[in-house]
Structure 1
Amino acid sequence: MSRQTALVVCPGRGSYGKAELGSLARADLSAYDAIRTAAGKPTLTALDSAERFSPSIHLAGENAAPLIYAASMADMAAIDRDRFDVVAVTGNSMGWYTALAAAGAVERLDGFRIADAMGVNSGRHGAGGQLIASTLDGEWRAVPGLRARLLRLAADTGLAVSIDLGGTLVLAGDDAALKAFASAAPVDTVRLAGNGPFHTALMHASSTAALATLPADWFGNPDVPMIDGRGHIWRRWASGREALWRYTFAHQILEAYDFALAIRVALREFAPDRIILLGPGDQLGGAIGQILVGMGWLGMTDKAGFAARQADDPFLLAMGRADQRNLVTK
């Protein structure tokens, strides 16, 4: 039987939660732990094997980012390459750092050093944070006019799009703007606890620190194409080291991350047989499903249609789910 083509998606912040505690027991963390020990930080083994999940510890950027990276890369290594030909890689927000290593644009340990450093750098920002607002109805269909209305309100209150998940907008700005938007929004909003104003100009200090400390010579051409948060494709043998480094630590930090566009470009350009969502967790699966429904991909036009396809012949394989993981690994 011939191999199926696959788009690999790397998740970002929020994917390692209480349910994922202990999930790294099957991974070799020794090299990562050595890097953390040398820097005087708690090892991933200690964090993942803790008796209980602590939001103040496990969700802190300096710990969450390396935990997510390690889990995603362990899943990347577990994909059965006799069954799947990975034709492209993308990621959501912090998942871009994992995507760099998963696609071979940086070495595995350098990728970890990037994720580890950016977990700390993500705390360097101006006052503010993020909130989320849905633009869809209960069946994942766009509510007419709602997206445009929310974007107008965001502009009026001083918020900017941080991440576009397709059916959900992640908006960011200072605290006053967040409160003004939430009080006037025509839909319920949720403030993301502990998150900074990611992917906005308020992250300038984070970008400056990254450019000053994380070297361009860690970067190179990817082994497989990568799709970034602008929908741009970084191709093998055609990706300049300096340009990729600068995108990663300047534009990617300071400008909106359009995850929905990245998925749409990947599907239209590479037409994969499957999407493989790496762990930890499967929280990004709903957002991907909404993007597929928005595109009408493979005839999926609402939530029920997506669920029926997933039950019969899943197009999206989330490795954070035991049933779907078994369809991906040896």
Structure 2
Amino acid sequence: MEYGFAFFPGQGAQSPGMGKELFENSAAAKAVFEEASEGAGMDVAGLCFESDKDTLSRTENSQIAIFTHSMAALAALREAGVTFKACAGFSLGEYTALAAAGVVSLADGVKIVSMRGKLMQQAADSIDGGMAAVLGLDDALVEQACAKVTDGIVLPVNYNCPGQLVIAGERGALEQAIENCKAAGARRAVPLAVSGAFHTPLMAKAAAELRAFVSDFTFSAPTMDIYSNLDGQVLRTDDMPAHLEKHMVSPVRWKALVAHGMAAGLATACEVGPGKTLTGFAGKISKELVCKPVSDMAGVEAAAE
């Protein structure tokens, strides 16, 4: 069975016990967990299966857990004969897409994601920032609401789907932008349970350190198209250190990414990894896009039919 897109989830999709059922029932998935543990120098399977919600929610833990669960689900899908024409990942998920398309090896992907999580955790701990989801307001009005804030940094960062745009920034500026969005007619504007102002210039130091860290890694040509968060277009992989630095401080343009993929004929997808967030976005972006969530063996079997 072949699908257009493999979609890989981002931070927030983690949950206790994630990936255990795949580990126990797929030899290919189990091998991914074992290789990830070796590459990360820690028991990634134990982190995923045994950690409580608070432990998994720490950025340094959630990123490596989600990456590994997603790659394990992909391995199980491939073991079942499922293939994909292209791939894309939401925020952190773009790193999973790089590994899925062979731009980085699984072992290197684990090392890079592990370092990214640590750097972003350090940035979150050093800055009083946050994120909020704005629901039921046009993107342009959200952008205007953020632009009206003159004391501090707050910006639109995740263009998820029609009627849903996430903003991020320094705490005081974020709170003012939330009030501006409500005044402009937002149905809701709710703070998210994250400690960092991700995908903003407040991540610049972490982004520069990540670029330096990845400069010695080997990046190969992709085996399939990767659609990028930065502009929604097919990613050029000729300067990956620069791309990964820019990726950390730039908005996720998911709505545009899906639209570009559909324009290229990619009308079917699997959300490969924990959660169903991207499946939900898909339905709101286009009724013509069919997306199946694949987080366990039942999902693998349904996708392979």
Q: TM-score, normalised by structure 2?
A: 0.86
Checking the alignment, whether the CA contact within 8 Å between 1:162 and 1:197 is kept in structure 2 is: no
Match 1:277 to one of 260, 271, 275: 271
Contact persistence 1:8–1:90 (CA under 8 A) = yes
Given that residues 4 and 273 in structure 1 are in contact (C-alpha distance below 8 angstroms), is that contact kept between their aligned partners in structure 2?
A: no
Q: How does 1:150-299 map to 2 (within 5 A)?
A: 150-157=142-149, 158-167=153-162, 168-186=164-182, 187-229=187-229, 230-234=231-235, 239-240=237-238, 243-248=239-244, 250-269=245-264, 271-293=265-287, 297=288
- Structure 2 distance, partners of 1:163, 1:280, is 19
Contact 2:17 2:48 in 1 (8 A): no
3-state SS of 2:47 partner: helix
Match of 2:133 in 1: 132
Deviation at 1:55, TM superposition (A): 2.9
When structure 1 is superposed on structure 2, of 120-129 and 193-202 the one drifting more is: 120-129
Paired residue type of 1:64: S
What CA deviation, in whole Å up to 9, does each residue of 1:256-305 have, x standing for no partner?
11111111111112x13521110112222211211114xxx36xxxxxxx
Q: Which residue of 1 aligns with 2:77?
A: 79
One-letter code of the match for 2:38?
Answer: A
Distance in 2 separating the partners of 1:321 and 1:32: 18
Structure 2 unmatched ranges of 5 or more: 25-29
Counterpart CA distance in 1 for 2:298 and 2:135 is 28
* Equivalent of residue 57 in structure 1, options 44, 55, 60: 55
Separation in 1, partners of 2:167, 2:283:
20
Root-mean-square deviation (Å):
2.3
Q: Please say if residues 198 and 254 of structure 1, whose CA atoms lie closer than 8 Å, have aligned partners that are also in contact.
A: yes
Alignment of 1:24-43 (within 5 A): 25-26=23-24, 27-28=30-31, 29-37=33-41, 41=42, 43=43
CA deviations on 1:201-220 (whole Å, 9 max, x unpaired) are: 11011111101212354212
Q: Deviations over 1:122-153 (max 9, x none)?
A: 12334311111113xxxxxxx6xx43322211
What is the distance in 2 between the residues matched to 1:216 and 1:289?
A: 40
2:304 is the counterpart of 1:325 = no
What SS class does the counterpart of residue 116 from structure 1 fall into?
Answer: helix
> CA separation in 1, counterparts of 2:273 and 2:12?
11
Shift of 1:73: 0.5
Q: Tell me the CA shift for residue 31 of structure 1.
A: 2.2
Name the residue aligned to 1:304: none
Task: Give the CA deviation at 1:23.
Answer: 4.4
Which consecutive unaligned segments of at least 5 residues does structure 1 have? 136-142, 299-314
**What is the CA distance between 1:20 and its match in structure 2?**
3.2
TM-score (structure 1 length as normaliser): 0.79
Q: Distance in 1 between matches of 2:38 and 2:257?
A: 34
Counting only pairs closer than 5 Å after superposition, residues 85-100 of structure 1 correspond to structure 2 as: 85-100=83-98
The offset of 1:327, in angstroms, is 2.1
Deviating more after overlay: 22-31 vs 186-195: 22-31
Conservation of the 8 A alpha-carbon contact between 1:80 and 1:329: no
